[in-house]
Amino acid sequence: MAQSKQEQTSSEATRGIRVISLNGHLIFGAVVLSFVILFSLVGPLFVDKDDSLLGSFAPEQRPFWIKESEKSMIQADDYPHIFGTDLQGRDIFTTLVYAAAQTLQVGTLTGLISLGLGAMMGVLAGFFPGRLDNSIRFFGDILVAIPTIAFLMVFVARMDDPSIWVIALSIAALSWPGAARAIRSQVLSLRERQYIAIARANGEREIEVLFREVLPNILPLLLAQFIGAVNGGIGTAMALEVLGLVPTRRYLSLGLMIFWVQRMGGILRGMWWWWGPPILLIAFIFTGLLFLSSGMNVIVNPRLAGYGAQAKRRTQARLKQFLAARRMAAKTMTPPDETAILEVRNLHVVYETEAGPVKAVNDVSFSIKPGERMGLIGESGSGKTTAAVAMMRLSRPPAFITQGQVFLEGRDLMTISDEELRRMRLKEIAMVPQAAMNALNPVMRIEDQIKDGLVVHTGRMSKTRLDQIVADVLDMVNLPQDIAKAYPHQLSGGMKQRATMAIAVALRPKVIIADEPTSALDVVVQKRVMVTLMQLQKELGAAVMLIGHDIGLMTQFVDTLGVLYAGRLVEWAPVEAILNNAYHPYSRMLIESLPTLTHKKALMGIPGMPPQLLNLPSGCPFVPRCPFAFDRCLEETPAPQSPEPGRRVACHLYPSHSVLPPLPVREINPAVAGD
């Protein structure tokens, strides 16, 4: 029953999550460009190209919809000219139809040629570093240094009768390095990814790796670059045309129409029906390309969709409402625990997504005493990092805090001003970030990154004093003094992690939040990092909240342990109490998954997967994986309770039980059924 409910929940979650490939900018840009393309494709069916030739009609005929009294005294032709004719007898509407088509052709050809050259050079330079990369970049840098317009003014103007292909090729030959640089950068990043190494380890040839693993991942970037190349091609061609540097015998374009208007004095004479339509059509083309490029950028970088200006404003407005309500209710709330240095009450954090709100942290409460070490453990996606970031009020859109209090020495961090909170960060509460490989600025020396926080909080100090503090904090984290002059890429993973610790403890904070400080480190380095963190905690007398996945490593360090599941704190107690008598089935199953040196036992994994936070199952979120689930678990979400002083648990087995029943090993791990 539990398993079928889990499958139903997964199915509902899958239906709820929509793959967003289109966006408003992309749709609007496509509609605008479609109008121009349709105009250039359908227009020739209703006009005769000969009407755009010199002397086809009497010169300077006004549009037929101009009042008779406003018409020129020149004898009018019987042909109904929509925009009249110019001084050389060309029908302006017919010219507009064919000029729009050729302007689009120039842009498209330029985009295709420029992207073709740029993609080929960028992929080769990025995937095959060395001499080939250096040669391509050197040649590209030379072309970038050439003033494009000045060169084309001389090159194209000397041609007798250039075709569209010649003009497009001339522009593309000078513009491809921009696309090549962007594509090279992306390929350089992709070729270092782990799945590329796995493809090579699986025996794929380099050419197969390139076409199967790399090129599909840069396709959205290629589309965005193509739109940019079309935009640049049209703009460059128009610059030459408006200056009158493109011969006009076989070539019509919107830029040349504007050139003719200038030559004939149409602007000074107020003939707006001569220059208005081509300018309006040009505006449509560039507007469509602009919105199309913006929409493609969202596809290339999906994070842009969730961090738009509208979403940010909406989230900031909600945060202001929450903070205002919290300040209004602060006087009537229960006073903070005077024995705790950090107390979290009923913290809720929601991620706003296109598919609906996701409750990442749901009613989390705990406290940490001065000098105490607390652990926060749970599977990936359980809300550990989200809770830690929210405690420091650093949540960014689309995440926002909907409810809760965070007291630091009695001060509610949810109600103080941004400036007050900024002054408290690092000085009173500091965070050791997750993934030290990416947490350090790659272009700054370690000493400069430590000094930044010192200067921000303490003002300007002498260089000697700053150097002394840097030396002291490096010594505190067991790093040699010469590390101060090193860049992050010169350090090992463990050294980077200890460098982030040095930054966090430089001002001797009272609370340290360490977010998975041992992730991606080997066992020996993990021990060094944890020993360093323990030494820092003892020397500073600070409280520490350690976030992690490894319950075995966690229990060797912490005094109390909080267990998170699906954004909820399902158990919180002293670590010895949890190890000896875990109340929640999830806590017990985490412990039972660890091997022991004292006796042989069957190792058990936790069946199933964590639920989708977007569509949590009704009742207890752990019910699809729990071996003790019963009817009440399917219908009612368990509230946190205290079966005994100093610990809390959210489970329907209590208060009727005092000890968790033995786990049914054969049901949880069928592999041991035949033992």
- Residue 315 or residue 517, greater confidence: 517
Return the structure tokens found at 99: 């000029």
> What pLDDT, on the 0 to 100 scale, is given for residue 80?
67
Residue type, 494: G
The DSSP letter of residue 391 is H
Separation between Cα atoms, residue 237 and residue 156, nearest integer Å: 10
Of 130, 132, 137, nearest to 176 by C-alpha is 137
> What pLDDT, on the 0 to 100 scale, is given for residue 257?
82
Separation between Cα atoms, residue 399 and residue 604, nearest integer Å: 35
- Residue 276 or residue 314, greater confidence: 276
If you average pLDDT over residues 616-620, what whole number do you get? 86
If you average pLDDT over residues 251-268, what whole number do you get? 79
Tens digit of pLDDT for each residue in 522-531? 777 788 888 8
Separation between Cα atoms, residue 15 and residue 97, nearest integer Å: 47
Per-residue confidence band for 598, with pLDDT thresholds at 50, 70 and 90 = low
Separation between Cα atoms, residue 182 and residue 369, nearest integer Å: 51
Question: DSSP secondary structure string, 329-364?
Answer: HGGGSPPPPTT-SEEEEEEEEEEEETTEEEEEEEEE
The answer on pLDDT for 170 being more than 70 is yes
The answer on pLDDT for 302 being more than 70 is no
Per-residue confidence band for 546, with pLDDT thresholds at 50, 70 and 90 = very high
Per-residue confidence band for 5, with pLDDT thresholds at 50, 70 and 90 = very low
The answer on pLDDT for 75 being more than 50 is no
C-alpha 272, offset from chain centre: 46
Of 319, 338, 324, 326, nearest to 412 by C-alpha is 326
Percent of the chain with pLDDT over 90: 23
Strand partners, 356: 353
> What pLDDT, on the 0 to 100 scale, is given for residue 562?
95
> What pLDDT, on the 0 to 100 scale, is given for residue 9?
39
> What pLDDT, on the 0 to 100 scale, is given for residue 76?
46
The answer on pLDDT for 540 being more than 50 is yes
Percent of the chain with pLDDT over 70: 82
Tens digit of pLDDT for each residue in 23-53? 778 888 889 989 989 988 888 888 777 766 6
Separation between Cα atoms, residue 479 and residue 494, nearest integer Å: 10
For the beta carbon of residue 332, count every other beta carbon within 10 angstroms: 6
Separation between Cα atoms, residue 40 and residue 36, nearest integer Å: 6
> What pLDDT, on the 0 to 100 scale, is given for residue 93?
84
Instruction: Please report where in the chains the tokens 């949810």 appear, as a residue.
Output: 414
Separation between Cα atoms, residue 414 and residue 406, nearest integer Å: 6
The answer on pLDDT for 414 being more than 90 is no
> What pLDDT, on the 0 to 100 scale, is given for residue 262?
79
Separation between Cα atoms, residue 388 and residue 360, nearest integer Å: 12
Query: Which domains can be identified in the chain, with CATH numbers?
Result: 24-69+77-300 (1.10.3720.10)
Before 624, cis peptide (omega within 30)? no
The DSSP letter of residue 85 is B
Q: Worst-scoring range by mean pLDDT, 28-32, 325-329, 593-597, 603-607?
A: 325-329
Mean pLDDT of the chain, nearest integer:
81
Q: Residues 151, 251, 35, CA angle at the centre, nearest 5°? A: 105
The answer on pLDDT for 107 being more than 70 is yes
From first CA to last CA, the distance across the chain in angstroms is: 26
Instruction: Please report where in the chains the tokens 């040196």 appear, as a residue.
Output: 597
C-alpha 132, offset from chain centre: 32
Supply the Cα-derived Rg of the chain in whole angstroms.
34
Coil vs helix vs strand at 123: helix
What sign does the CA torsion over 418, 422, 424, 425 have? positive
- CB-based contacts of 71: which residues, under 8 Å, 6+ apart? 62
